[in-house]
Structure 1
Amino acid sequence: MKLAITGKGGVGKTTLASMLARTFADHGNRVLAIDADPDANLAAALGIPPALSIKLQPITGMKELAEERTGSTGGFGTLFKLNPAVSDLPDRFCITHDGIRFLWMGTLVKGGSGCACPENTLIKRLMGHLLLERNDVVIMDMEAGLEHLGRGTSQAMDALIIVVEPGQRSIQTAFQIMKLAEDLGIGDVFVVGSKVRDEGDRCLIETLIPRSRLLGFITFSDDIKRADLENIAPDKIALDSLAEVRAIKERLVACMAER
């Protein structure tokens, strides 16, 4: 299964991505978790020790690698390959921790709409490889935009999951993302309510989000907050939240099986 997790900043995307990765791994799946968010926190949420994560760098920042794979010699207007070899990169740059493989993708270069620089070309080709040519469960923690997903790769996504918190701005962002997903041809778009404190919060989300799209809720948790403060994977101490994510995963699998 290939999943992208997105939503407005601070709503709990990374928490959901890390816990989904854990539930799939615990079920015996080979899981690849990808951080494609500029506020890169997925490594910490997966419990990767700082001594390991400090050595990481995003693939988007590997200019020499991009130039090597694309054949670019640098400079404006340089010709380069649009289909570089990338099949070795996941195994070369992944860190494996507690049964989950992690890859720091990084964000695309903001060089204008449709930037065709070597770095972006490498990333889009790598994304296509991960979504189209590998059998891993891929869980990608994204920013609110869908820049990483071109029209070709977007159709390989099994589902886009938008995380919302109780609030009009967060839900408005969700509908904007749904429109982007529709434009890219992503048919299966779901929503998870996060940081829900009471029945009023649930009711707000249930009123605005179609029932067919709503996978479930993650209750506001002091244990998740403590995990962040202590740099611990939330699935290790926020056990009630992990149970909620397991239920979300089961509903997702059931929804996909019905389609």
Structure 2
Amino acid sequence: MRVAFVGKGGSGKTTLSALFARYVASRGGPVVAVDADINQHLGMALGLAESALPRPMGSHLTEIKEYLRGDNPRISSAAAMVKTTPPGSGSRLLRLDEDDPIHTGFSVVTPEGPRLMVTGPFSEDDLGVACYHSKVGAVELYLNHLLDGAGEYVVVDMTAGADSFASGLFTRFDMTFLVAEPTRQGVSVYRQYRDYAADYGVPIAVVGNKIHGPGDVAFLRDQVGDDLLVCLEHSPAIRAMEQGRPFTLQDLEPANSQALGTLLDRLDSQEKDWFRFGRQAVQFHLRNATAWANRATGEDLAAQIDPGFVFGPTRVSLSR
């Protein structure tokens, strides 16, 4: 199952992404946490020093594309492979329970179990000339080629606000948790996200954060209604973690630990819709091909779509 944490900048989505990844890993399943935010802080929240971070995916796009395209005859080269290029016969597909050059080359194991992958920050060569979505495209390619099964989890810390809608990445998840503080600003981001996602069948639940009392819960309930799934109360333990002091899940307040369990229960109850996933992969690829990618590559990228390819765990990679 894939889950995205989104929300206003400063809402706590990175912290909750890290806590949820730790919590799920403590239950024994394989977990990959992905930092897809322009502010790269997920590794820190997972207890890693900056020197221990993995190689950034966004700086090695050609290497990633070369591996994923395998011997797919519809993809002429890595240069012709864009962020929305879907897999087809001959593509290399990824599994969380297998070693491959993507998982071994671009992830590290964090102290409490989750693997961490990062898009990486801007480089000197990017400043003034590149868009961060070109780096986040590595995450979209990763998810398009991933066959995740029951009891396997990918937790993605997304860019702040509604910036996620600049690509089709927002449709690559089984569940989206929108982290909202009990403020008008937090609620406005929820409404914007809800409205943009409405036509794409993207399941959204609101996670109230930094709650100081019943009044905060009542405010969120009044503003977002039944979309409010659970609230996390203001936490001295989490603040200590954010300040760099020692922290484990056992330090978390019982109510907040229970809230993480509620999030996992909601994710596990979500039906995996491979048909929608595949249909939207094709939809956004065609949209990008027409808007810019055909012109950028000099090819008709609609030809990359394999009409006989079926998304889902029954598929096996034809190129290893």
With normalisation by structure 1, the TM-score equals 0.78
Write out aligned runs for 1:138-177 (5 A). Answer: 138-143=154-159, 144=161, 145-147=163-165, 150=168, 154-177=170-193
Q: Who is 2:238 aligned against?
A: 224
CA contact (8 A) 2:5 2:156 kept: yes
**Structure 2: distance between partners of 1:134 and 1:148:** 25
User: Which of 69, 87, 105 does residue 92 from structure 1 map onto?
Assistant: 105
Q: Structure 1: state its 5+ residue gaps.
A: 72-77
1:105 aligns with 2:104: no
1:149 Cα deviation from its structure 2 partner: 5.1
Cα 1:148/1:32, change in 2 over 3 Å: farther
**Structure 2: distance between partners of 1:252 and 1:122:** 24
**Structure 2: distance between partners of 1:234 and 1:38:** 26
Q: Structure 2: state its 5+ residue gaps.
A: 70-76, 86-90, 95-100, 274-320
Write out aligned runs for 1:180-259 (5 A). Answer: 180-183=196-199, 185-211=200-226, 213-233=227-247, 235-240=249-254, 241-254=256-269, 256=270
Matching residue's letter, 2:19: M
Q: Who is 2:80 aligned against?
A: 81
Deviations 1:82-130 (A, max 9, x none): 1586853122111012321110124798979997x6x565443223123
CA contact (8 A) 2:175 2:203 kept: yes
Deviations 1:210-233 (A, max 9, x none): 21x221000011221111112545
More strand by share: 1
Larger radius of gyration: 2
**Structure 1: distance between partners of 2:120 and 2:195:** 24
* Corresponding residue pairs, total: 241
Q: Who is 1:62 aligned against?
A: 60
- State the secondary structure of the residue aligned to 1:146: helix
Cα 1:122/1:209, change in 2 over 3 Å: closer
Write out aligned runs for 1:30-49 (5 A). Answer: 30-49=30-49
**Structure 2: distance between partners of 1:103 and 1:234:** 21
Q: Kindly, what percent of the aligned residue pairs are identical?
A: 23
Matching residue's letter, 1:43: G
CA RMSD of aligned residues (A): 3.4
